[in-house]
Amino acid sequence: MATKVALLMFLCVLPAMVAAIRPAKNPFCVQGRVYCDPCRAGFETSATTYIAGAEVVVECMDKTGTEVVYTKKGRTDSTGSYTIYVDEDHADQICDAKLVSSPHHRCKVVTPGREQARVALTRQNGIASDTRFANAMGFMTEDVAAGCAEILKQYQEFDNEN
């Protein structure tokens, strides 16, 4: 009887162990963009440009949010877009794409509220695709660029119409 129980346990546990140690066949693909806000508006405007060579990191914290358990760095391409591949499932973790640095000498100030973007890196949430899109993150210039008053006025007029 004991051998039957041991065999049954072995047959049930073995597949779970193999699945746990085998690397994921399809990694998650985290994609996003990094922009420069010369108007210091706090969001993308018609004056926005995208930053090539900005450093971004995907960082996952334990479920209490107290310890970093995973990091993977990436850089933006010529269009300000980045793609970071993450092999593991992070179901019990809190993951964010975060800004690290900007190579743009006039655009290095992190835009408050646009310094990170939450990403769900698990297959246990009903999302069929392995691609995860992070909200755009941004830096801003030290000073407001010329012409920004007119650009921001257009946004204010649009808000007043609605």
Contact assessment for residue 32 and residue 81, using Cβ atoms and an 8 Å cutoff: yes
Tally the domains of the chain: 1
- 102 within some domain: yes
What is the pTM for the complete model shown?
A: 0.79
Contact assessment for residue 151 and residue 45, using Cβ atoms and an 8 Å cutoff: yes
Domain encompassing residue 51: 27-161
Q: Which pLDDT tens digit goes with each residue over 39-76?
A: 999 999 999 999 999 999 999 999 998 999 999 999 99
The CATH number of whichever domain residue 104 belongs to comes to 2.60.40.10
Q: Which pLDDT tens digit goes with each residue over 70-117?
A: 999 999 999 999 999 999 899 999 999 999 999 999 999 999 999 999
- β-partners of residue 130 are none
- 9 within some domain: no
In 3D space, the residue among 134, 141, 124, 139 whose CA is nearest the CA of residue 57 turns out to be 134
CA-to-CA distance for 15 and 24, rounded, in angstroms?
15
DSSP 48-94: -EE-TT-EEEEEEE-TTSSSEEEEEEEE--TTSEEEEEE-S--TTSE
- 10 within some domain: no
